[in-house]
Amino acid sequence: MDSGFTLTIDWLAFTVLASNPQETMKVLGGDWSKAKGGFRGYPLSWMRVDGLRGVGKLGTNAPRRPNEIHVDLSGGLASALTRDQIRTLLRWVHAQQGHVTRIDCALDDRAGTVPVATIREAVSAGQCVTRAAQVRISSPTSRMGPERPRARPCTSAVRRVRRYSASMTSGWNSRAKDKSTIRTTGHDGN
């Protein structure tokens, strides 16, 4: 049964204690390139850029734990993993004495099932549940006009709430009549 909603991993980060960069890159797949600088306090780093899909970063060789490796996978890479690939990766992380440091999930209403007006009412009533620093509600007309909707602070449990209009994305169901979008941004802008 197709509900019009999709649930994807929008960010995945983990740290492993007993590995080496080459083994980790092999497990993750793709083409990784040595980066010029460090990453998140790790002096050695590699990057994987997969066209328009996303970015992966791997850091290692921190003085506090030289064998520790930290990996960040943006939504484009993380959401492309199949359920079996995710399970295999998480089992490998556990086997390497590692742990997940961040996992963001995105629930997208690709069919316009929930009207933006309903979401606005929920946000106004304080029913928005997010760790985001602010919520911006915009529509195609407000983006062009001088008046922009005000951001409303929300606090609590999930990272992001997104609602996309079918007109803003290619190949999605075009039943959505409201062309507004809602996006929350976290304290670090992600």
DSSP letter for each residue of 96-136: TT-EEEEEEEEEEETT--S-HHHHHHHHHTT--B---SEEE
Name the residue range of residue 97's domain: 9-104
Instruction: Provide the sign of the torsion angle of the four alpha carbons 37, 40, 42, 48, taken in this order.
Output: negative
CATH code of the domain containing 49:
3.30.160
Q: How much is the pLDDT for 60?
A: 94
β-bridge mates for residue 9, sequence order: 105
Structure tokens at 134: 């602010």
Q: How much is the pLDDT for 117?
A: 87
Is pTM beyond 0.75? Reply is: no
Residue 169 has pLDDT above 60, yes or no: no
| Whether residues 95 and 115 fall in one domain | no
| Whether residues 127 and 85 fall in one domain | no
The structural domain count of the chain equals: 2
| Whether residues 80 and 15 fall in one domain | yes
β-bridge mates for residue 65, sequence order: 62
pLDDT in tens, 1-51: 568 888 889 899 999 997 789 999 999 999 999 999 999 999 999 999 887
| Whether residues 126 and 84 fall in one domain | no
Single out the residue of 131, 127, 135, 122 nearest to residue 162, CA to CA: 135
Residue 25 belongs to what H/E stretch? helix 21-28
Determine contact, residues 187/131, Cβ cutoff 8 Å: yes
Q: How much is the pLDDT for 134?
A: 66
Q: Which range among 6-10, 75-79, 169-173, 178-182 shows the weakest confidence by mean pLDDT? A: 169-173
Q: How much is the pLDDT for 137?
A: 57
Q: Is residue 179 in a domain?
A: yes
| Whether residues 17 and 91 fall in one domain | yes
| Whether residues 92 and 173 fall in one domain | no
pLDDT in tens, 120-142: 888 788 887 776 666 565 554 44
Q: Is residue 190 in a domain?
A: no
Domain boundary among 72, 104, 136: 104
Higher local confidence (pLDDT), 160 or 108? 108
| Whether residues 19 and 89 fall in one domain | yes
| Whether residues 99 and 13 fall in one domain | yes
| Whether residues 71 and 115 fall in one domain | no
Determine contact, residues 130/154, Cβ cutoff 8 Å: yes
